[in-house]
């Protein structure tokens, strides 16, 4: 949307100067073994991975962890700052940030942390008719999925936050928006477009005299979004 002379070189230099990224991002090395992947979902928000990031610096509101949920198809991220890694904050997070916003998922992948292995959590999964898939040594493909999704999202979110400050929870949703408007490395499609079917509108654009756009027919819109998601599904 924006361009200037030698823009790519400028952006590359700026990104490479990020000290947090250089210190915390994993180096890409030789792949050890091959995992049998879990079949990709047919629809967005049908299958999600969920995990915790932290502990971080305790905020003024008492939060020191982040719940991270990632849609396996679009790679869309939902986050919430929480005080601990118990089941209590996880259940309303799934209800408010996933079910109420994106509908009931069919499958939810997690590690075997206490938040996801409690009786209360199992009861909610049964009530919501969600197939909970815990990562176990017997299912290394599930482990690989959890680790890959968690590493990608949490490192990106942490890179946007100054996690040594006590107000990082106030800036958390802005960090998630930055992740959700980036191009997904596997699909090369902006996450926001795959979910909403349009590009993100930024504040300064509301005052710019863009020419009026013709309304897109509903059938054309549905097909375009379906094509974007199918391209993502085929590249998982």
CATH number of the domain at 173, please: 3.30.420.10
Judge whether 25 lies within some domain. Answer: yes
Range of the structural domain that residue 46 is part of: 19-183
Planar angle of CA 131, 134, 136, nearest 5 degrees? 140
pLDDT score recorded for residue 31: 44
Judge whether 209 lies within some domain. Answer: no
Judge whether 197 lies within some domain. Answer: no
pTM as predicted:
0.77
Handedness of CA 204, 210, 215, 219 (dihedral sign): negative
pLDDT, averaged in runs of 10, over the chain (236 residues): 66 62 50 54 91 88 92 90 96 97 94 92 97 74 60 68 76 86 76 85 74 79 84 75
Within 13 Å of residue 14, how many CA atoms lie on the same side as its CB? Answer: 6
- Cα 141 to Cα 34, 38, 172: the distances in Å are 9, 7, 30
Closest C-alpha to 93, from 124, 62, 117, 123: 124
pLDDT score recorded for residue 8: 67
Question: How far apart are alpha carbons 188 and 190 in whole angstroms?
Answer: 7
Per the structure, the count of domains in the chain is 1
pLDDT score recorded for residue 104: 95
Question: How far apart are alpha carbons 182 and 109 in whole angstroms?
Answer: 23
Q: With 0-12 CB in 10 A as exposed, 13-18 as middle and 19+ as buried, what is 66?
A: buried
């Amino acid at each position: 949307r924006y361009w200037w002379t030698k823009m790519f070189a400028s952006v590359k230099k700026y990104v490479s100067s990020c000290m947090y990224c250089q210190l915390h991002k994993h180096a890409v090395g030789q792949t050890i073994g091959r995992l049998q992947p879990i079949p990709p979902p047919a629809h967005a928000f049908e299958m999600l991975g969920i995990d915790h990031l932290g502990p971080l610096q305790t905020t003024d509101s008492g939060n020191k962890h982040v719940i991270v949920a990632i849609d396996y198809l679009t790679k869309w991220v939902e986050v919430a700052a929480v005080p601990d890694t118990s089941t209590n904050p996880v259940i309303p997070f799934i209800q408010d940030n996933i079910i109420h916003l994106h509908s009931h998922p069919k499958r939810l992948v997690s590690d075997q942390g206490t938040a996801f292995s409690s009786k209360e959590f199992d009861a909610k999964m049964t009530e919501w008719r969600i197939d909970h898939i815990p990562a176990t040594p017997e299912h290394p493909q599930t482990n690989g999925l959890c680790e890959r999704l968690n590493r990608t999202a949490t490192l990106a979110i942490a890179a946007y936050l100054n996690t040594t400050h006590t107000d990082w929870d106030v800036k958390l949703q802005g960090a998630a928006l930055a992740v959700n408007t980036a191009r997904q490395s596997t699909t090369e499609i902006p996450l926001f477009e795959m979910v909403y079917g349009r590009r993100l509108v930024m504040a300064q654009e509301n005052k710019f005299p863009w020419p009026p756009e013709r309304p897109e027919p509903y059938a054309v819109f549905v097909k375009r979004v379906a094509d974007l998601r199918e391209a993502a599904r085929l590249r998982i």
